[in-house]
Structures are given as structure tokens and as C-alpha cells.
Structure 1
Amino acid sequence: MGHPTPPAWYVISLRPQGGHDALRRAARRHGAGLLALSPWRIQPCDDAATRQALEKALACPVVVVTSPAAVSAAQALASLQVQRGSTWLAVGAGTAAALRRAGVPASSPRRMDSEGLLAMPALQDIRGIDIGFITAPDGRNLLVPTLQARGAQVHRAEVYRREPLALPPRALDTLASLDRPACLLLSSAGALEQVLPQLPPAAAARFLTASVVAASARLVGVARAAGFSEVVQADGPRPAQLMKSASTVMAPRIR
């Protein structure tokens, strides 16, 4: 029985531990393998202070949710009941879909990032409005200061935290010795900041030769500042969007 043929190319995922499956499936459809470098794991919060903060956030006339992980963590703490006349907003389509599965009608911007959310009509005339903000510590740093500058009262509920992880030696060895074309799928600046200092010299050198598909214009700048030379922007952060751009970028290099 022969060995399986290795993929013609690889994508590198920096998503949280246990969060690579959708990207792995999308990569497989394009003939790519996936190298997982998880810099953290998602740890839901379950304490009285978090429950109280979430209760206040859910009572607001406008509720902003920043990620599918925030939806899941909030659901574990409370029933996500929609108040009469309230508006629920999600940073991206994946978060909006998670909210709808929880029974909450939610809108998301076509441009699935902080800037896109801030451009939505519901967040323009908000002086004196209470806005619930369901997220993680340090999540979406641009949003809260901007909402406050527009006069909103932001009630933040940090329903999960990111616990840093050491990168597995086996994954680092695989990265250092990778002899196939590789593309980094970048959807989090914080994840990249966690990964870079952990890379030994050989792995770091190989990592920085990868092409980058970034989920937003802001992340394009982050990747270039980190030292990547080939960076393109995808249409959004969803696996299919990232892989569509990655396959286009990598097509000339795949044997």
C-alpha cells in the first residue's frame, strides 16, 4: 500500500485551537493541505461578573457581537432573547449566521471588518444610545473608542478569553522543512503577533517567504509591516473567500 500523495501546496492557519476544520475542508477542495499554527485557545468565561455584564449588554437597544466564539460563549451563559425594538449587529457574516442559528436576527456589513461595521446606518446617529458589546478582552479595539467618540454608552461583556499556547514543535519542524508553495491565511492581527516571536530562525525564515491572503485592508498593512512581501486582500474572512484568493495567487506556482 503506497503512501498518500502530498498536497501540491499548503495554507497556513493561525485560527484558535480546534478552529481549523472549515478552513481545512475549503483547502482540500482546492487541492491544498493545511498547516495549523494555533497561538491560543478559546476559553469561555463563567463567573458572576461576566454574567452581570452580559445581562446589561443584552438589555441594550443595540447589541454588537464580534465573533462566532462570542455567540457561543454568550449562549452558554444566558438566553439570547431579542428585546422589542432592539437591533443586533455582527462584525461578519459568520457571526450573523451564528446569531441566526441562536434565534437572533442580525445584520452584518458587506465589508466584514471593524470599518465596515462602523459604516452601517444603525451606528451613525448614536449619541446617548446604550450599545451592548459582546466580545473578548482586547477584541476589536477600534470599535469601542469609535462608538464612544460618537456619543454612545458602550456596555462591554467579555464572554471569553484567548489563552496563549506554545506552538507545537512538530508543527514548527514541518514549517521549517516545508518544500511546497505556502500561503498564510490572515484573519487576525493578534494571532500573527502571538506567532511571530515563537518561531525559531529556520521556521521564521520559511514563514516570511509565504504569500499572504489577508481578510481586510487593515490586515494587508499588518502583514506588510511584519515583513511579508506578497500580500493580497480577499473579499472577506470566510474560508471560501480566503481560499478563492489563495488559489488564484498560488496557481502559477503549483506543479
Structure 2
Amino acid sequence: MATEPGVLVTRPAGQADALLEALAGAGLRAVHQPLLTLEPLPELAPQARQAVIDLDRYQHVIFVSANAVHFGMELIGNYWPQLPVGLAWYGVGVTTATLLREFGLDPISPPLQMDSEGLLAMESLQQVAGDRVLIVKGIGGRGKIAEVLAQRGAQVDELPCYRRYCPTLVPGQLAATLGQESINVVLISSGEGLENMLSLLSAAETTKFRDIELIVPSPRVAALAQQAGFPRVMTADNASDAAMLEALRRWRAGDK
């Protein structure tokens, strides 16, 4: 029987290869089971299409995730082969900002707290009364950025460019993976990933696996995990591969 720790990686398909490789290099048994499925929208709503056409009329363009960059920049490129200048571009998180740089942009990103709250604390978004803000995102989500910036007087539009949904698994499949693979720790990338995990486990299965360690990307998601009945939760600095690996290192060292 294998003795090295088993780690479940839950990133969407196509976004886990580097993390899986790093885990294997660290001597860990890495198993991939996406807890989030992504797909582009088949067609933009008229309001969203107009927002893209009017991109040069915004002062601030905010990408809430790496997925927003992936789907959003492809969409924007269909209308703007050369991006407009004079806009402030933002990426929530180090991975999001890195991807924006690949498009020749110089994004503004929170240096430490890489989430909505960290972005909203940035100086350049404090005095935005009368400014136009475009938020590139998936359908749904928290909505906190739009709400707070609107309260500060900004005109906020959203560009939903992809859809997230829970993967389809047969009942008991996730629990079987956790048991058969002797999973010791689950890497959760987002609050929605946690919600999908809980929906894919029955109440009895959640109780059975309640002692599995969860590594989550923020205190908010940690609180949700603990409320759901998982007492063993470690909070990474953010959702990036580097932060998850560092949290996992601390877990292996027993540093809670």
C-alpha cells in the first residue's frame, strides 16, 4: 500500500497540469478530479456585446480570474485586434495578472490579499465617482466588486463571457475516489469548487471524510468549509499553484 500522501487536485480540466507535475516532483500522489467545468458562452447578450465595442470608453477594466482572461481576451480580440490605450487594467490574483501581461498589458493587482476585497482596497479604485468600469467574469459569482464600486459612484458594467457548472459524476463517485485513492488532502481553488464538492458528497459521505485536510484559497472559503463540517482546514495565501504548494508544504511539516 502506498505510503506517500494522496492529494486531490480539483482545478478545471486543462488547468491542472503544472500543479500535478509539481506535486509528483515533491513525492506526492496527485489525483485530478475537477470540481468545476467551464465553457464559453455560445452568444453574447446585446448589452455585453456593446460593452466590448465600447471598450475604449471605460477607465477601468477588471478581470476577476484567470478564466476571465482566457475567455474574455479571446472575445475582446475579435473586436479589438489592437487593444485601446489609456485604460487601467486589473487582475484579481497573481495568475490573472500574469496572463494579462502575456497580452502586452501592465495590469494592476493586489500585492498580498489576492481577492475581491484586496482589489477593492487598492488606491486606484477608491475615487471612481463618474468613472466607467467593466468587469470581465463568468456568469454568476459573488458580485461584490460591482456592488462596492457602484456604491463609490462608478458606472459599472459586466461582461460575462463563460459559464461555470458542477461536473456530472455518478452518485458516490467522488467519495469512491477519496477512499480508493487514500486521499489525505484536497486542494480547493474557489468557493464554488467547495460548493460543488459538497453537492457531490452525500451527508453520510461528508461525515465519513470530515477528517480529510482541505487547503483553500482564502479565509472566506475556510469559514465555509468549517461551517460545512470540515474541521481540518488550512488557508493558502491565494489560489495560485505556488501558494497551494506552500500551504501543502506547511501541512506536511505539521505547521498549522
Give your verdict on TM over 0.5: yes
CA distance in 2, matches of 1:151, 1:179: 52
**8 Å Cα contact 2:44/2:161 also seen in 1:** no
- The percentage of aligned residue pairs carrying the same residue is 31
- Once the two structures are superposed, the pairs formed by residues 36-47 of structure 1 within 5 Å of their partners are 36-47=32-43
CA distance in 2, matches of 1:101, 1:29: 27
Change in Cα spacing, 1:223 to 1:57, as seen in structure 2 (3 Å) is: farther
- 1:88 has 2:86 as partner: no
Per the alignment, residue 104 of structure 2 pairs with 103
Per the alignment, residue 31 of structure 1 pairs with 27
Of 197-206 and 223-232, the range deviating more from structure 2: 197-206
**8 Å Cα contact 2:55/2:84 also seen in 1:** no
Aligned mate of 1:52, from 50, 53, 70: 50
**8 Å Cα contact 1:175/1:206 also seen in 2:** no
- TM-aligned CA deviation for residue 66 of structure 1: 0.9
Of 208-217 and 29-38, the range deviating more from structure 2: 29-38
Alignment TM-score, normalising by the size of structure 2: 0.86
- 1:195 has 2:227 as partner: no
Change in Cα spacing, 1:186 to 1:143, as seen in structure 2 (3 Å) is: same
**8 Å Cα contact 2:56/2:85 also seen in 1:** no
**8 Å Cα contact 1:57/1:155 also seen in 2:** no
- TM-aligned CA deviation for residue 193 of structure 1: 0.9
CA distance in 2, matches of 1:205, 1:33: 24
Per the alignment, residue 145 of structure 1 pairs with 147
**8 Å Cα contact 1:10/1:32 also seen in 2:** yes
CA distance in 1, matches of 2:147, 2:26: 40
- Equivalent residue of 2:253, what SS? helix
- TM-aligned CA deviation for residue 177 of structure 1: 3.3
- TM-aligned CA deviation for residue 53 of structure 1: 3.5
- Once the two structures are superposed, the pairs formed by residues 112-191 of structure 1 within 5 Å of their partners are 112-167=114-169, 171-179=174-182, 182-191=184-193
Write out per-residue CA displacement over residues 197-251 of structure 1, whole angstroms, 9 at most, x where no aligned residue. 2214664345421112221121221221121112222222211211111122133
Change in Cα spacing, 1:6 to 1:53, as seen in structure 2 (3 Å) is: farther
CA distance in 2, matches of 1:156, 1:58: 15
- Equivalent residue of 1:54, what SS? helix
Per the alignment, residue 236 of structure 2 pairs with 234
- Once the two structures are superposed, the pairs formed by residues 215-234 of structure 1 within 5 Å of their partners are 215-234=217-236
**8 Å Cα contact 1:211/1:231 also seen in 2:** yes
Alignment TM-score, normalising by the size of structure 1: 0.87
- Equivalent residue of 2:49, what SS? helix
Of 198-207 and 59-68, the range deviating more from structure 2: 198-207
- TM-aligned CA deviation for residue 65 of structure 1: 0.4
Write out per-residue CA displacement over residues 47-70 of structure 1, whole angstroms, 9 at most, x where no aligned residue. 242433333456411100011111
Of 35-44 and 169-178, the range deviating more from structure 2: 169-178
- Root mean square deviation of aligned Cα: 2.4
Unpaired runs of 5+ residues, structure 2, are none
Change in Cα spacing, 1:85 to 1:75, as seen in structure 2 (3 Å) is: closer
Per the alignment, residue 249 of structure 2 pairs with 247
CA distance in 2, matches of 1:216, 1:73: 24
Change in Cα spacing, 1:221 to 1:170, as seen in structure 2 (3 Å) is: closer
Change in Cα spacing, 1:72 to 1:122, as seen in structure 2 (3 Å) is: same
Aligned residues: 248
Per the alignment, residue 70 of structure 2 pairs with 72
CA distance in 2, matches of 1:47, 1:166: 23
